[in-house]
């Protein structure tokens, strides 16, 4: 049984790592790295910010989301996404629905597995995007390695129909619960980013907790300036 699990895991990870080599994602690849855990009865309010800076300008994207667990292993969250482009106009850009599914109980196998499904529709345009993929996390003593591999399909009248893929990884050291330094890697179309960051959390009474994370990612496959800063705040209640 254990050998089959190991084999399946190796095949899946290999598949996840291969996807970015077959197809790539354009746009902003830097976003949060998902963890494969869902708490029953959890409800959360989330705010995320990504600032992408190149020599030609700066794109700022913010999203606010509200969601909760719909059963013991799945959580559904809805977001509205706003973006400020190079011209300085900030406006509503898209709506998003996200389903996080914890596939295996934490600690049962050699790694924790989850799946993610997303559906996004642009506000002013006939453009849709669907994402599906795997989320894996493994502990190594006081460090944790988290990997996300996603397959994305974009379609609609206003954009090209295409397949894309993304890979994200986060290696963090659980130094203190409030400050866990991490290094993150993002792979996508013409984008190989790496950078430091940190995540932290603070528990209040009961199930209430506040999580924060920030990361500064540098693009290394091209020689010009290209960096992204991301920040996320999540309040679970």
Partner 1 sequence: MLITSLVMSLNQLLPVAILLILLQVVAKQSLMKLLGGLILGIGLSFLFVKSAPLISPLFDYQGLEYAQIGLCILIFISALYYAIKQATAAFMIAIISVMTLYLSHYIIYLIGFWQNNEAAQSLFIGTFLGLGICSSFSVLLYFLLSATKQRFGLTPLLVLLALNSAAKLVVALDLASQIDLIATTVTVWDLRDILTENSEFGRVLRALIGYEATPNLTSVLSYALSSVLFLSVCYFIPKLITKEKS
- List the one residue from 182, 186, 187, 191 that touches partner 1 (CB under 8 A): 182
108 Cβ contact list (under 8 Å, min separation 6): none
Q: Which is nearer to partner 1, 63 or 100 (CB)?
A: 63
Query: Tokens 């869902």 correspond to what residue?
Result: 38
Say whether residue 89 binds partner 1 (CB under 8 A).
Answer: no
Shortest reach from residue 186's CB to partner 1, in Å: 14
Q: What is the DSSP letter of 159?
A: S
Name the burial class of residue 223, with classes exposed (0-12), middle (13-18) and buried (19+) by CB atoms within 10 angstroms of its CB: exposed
| Segment 154 to 173, residues that bind partner 1, using CB under 8 A | 173
Q: Closest approach of Cβ 181 to partner 1, in Å? A: 4
Residue 133 binding partner 1, by CB under 8 A: no
Residue 58 binds partner 1 (CB under 8 A): yes
Residue 37 touching partner 1 (CB under 8 A) = no
How far are the Cα atoms of 46, 207, 209 from residue 204, in angstroms, in the given order? 17, 7, 5
Q: 101 CB contacts (<8 Å, ≥6 apart)?
A: 38, 73, 74, 75, 114, 115, 116, 117
The residue (of 99 and 183) whose beta carbon lies closer to partner 1 is 183
Closest to 50 measured CA to CA, from 228, 233, 234: 228
The least CB distance from residue 198 to partner 1, in Å, is 4
Any contact of residue 51 with partner 1 (CB under 8 A)? yes
26-46 per-residue burial string, b: 16 or more CB within 10 A, e: under 16: eebbbbbbbbbbbeeeebbeb
Nearer Cβ to partner 1 (155/216): 216
Distance of CA 224 to the CA centre of its chain: 25
Neighbour count for residue 116 (Cβ, 10 Å): 18
Q: Token pair 């974009």 is at which residue? A: 154
Q: Which of 229, 233, 234, 235 binds partner 1 (CB under 8 A)?
A: 229
179 touching partner 1, by CB under 8 A = yes
Residues touching partner 1, count (CB under 8 A): 25
| 11-19, 20-28, 147-155, 178-186 -> range binding partner 1 (CB under 8 A) | 178-186
In the shown chain, the binding pattern of residues 195 to 224 toward partner 1, with x for contact by CB under 8 A and - for none, equals xxxx---------------xxx-x-x--xx
The residue within the footprint of partner 1, chosen from 53, 62, 73, 132 (CB under 8 A), is 53
Question: Residue 197: how many CA atoms within 13 Å on its side-chain side?
Answer: 29
The residues that touch partner 1, with contacts defined as CB under 8 A, are 51, 53, 58, 173, 175, 179, 181-183, 195-198, 214-216, 218, 220, 223-227, 229, 231
């Amino acid at each position: 049984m254990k050998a089959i699990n190991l084999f399946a895991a190796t095949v899946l990870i290999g598949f996840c790592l291969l996807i970015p080599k077959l197809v790539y994602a354009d746009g902003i690849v830097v976003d949060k790295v998902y963890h494969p855990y869902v708490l029953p009865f959890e409800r959360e309010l989330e705010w995320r910010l990504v600032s992408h800076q190149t020599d030609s300008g700066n794109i700022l994207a913010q999203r606010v989301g509200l969601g909760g667990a719909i059963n013991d292993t799945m959580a559904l969250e809805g977001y509205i996404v706003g973006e400020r482009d190079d011209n300085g106009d900030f406006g509503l850009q898209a709506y998003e629905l996200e389903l996080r599914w914890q596939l295996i109980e934490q600690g049962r196998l050699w790694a924790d597995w989850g799946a993610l499904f997303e559906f996004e529709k642009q506000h002013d345009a006939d453009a849709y995007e669907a994402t599906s993929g795997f989320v894996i996390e493994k502990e190594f003593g006081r460090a944790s390695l988290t990997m996300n591999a996603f397959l994305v399909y974009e379609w609609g009248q206003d954009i090209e129909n295409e397949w894309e893929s993304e890979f994200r990884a986060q290696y963090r050291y659980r130094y203190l619960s409030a400050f866990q330094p991490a290094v993150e890697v993002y792979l996508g179309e013409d984008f190989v980013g790496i950078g430091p960051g940190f995540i932290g959390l603070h528990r209040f009474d009961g199930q209430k907790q506040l999580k924060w994370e920030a990361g500064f990612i540098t693009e290394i496959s091209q020689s010009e300036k290209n960096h992204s800063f991301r920040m996320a705040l999540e309040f679970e209640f």
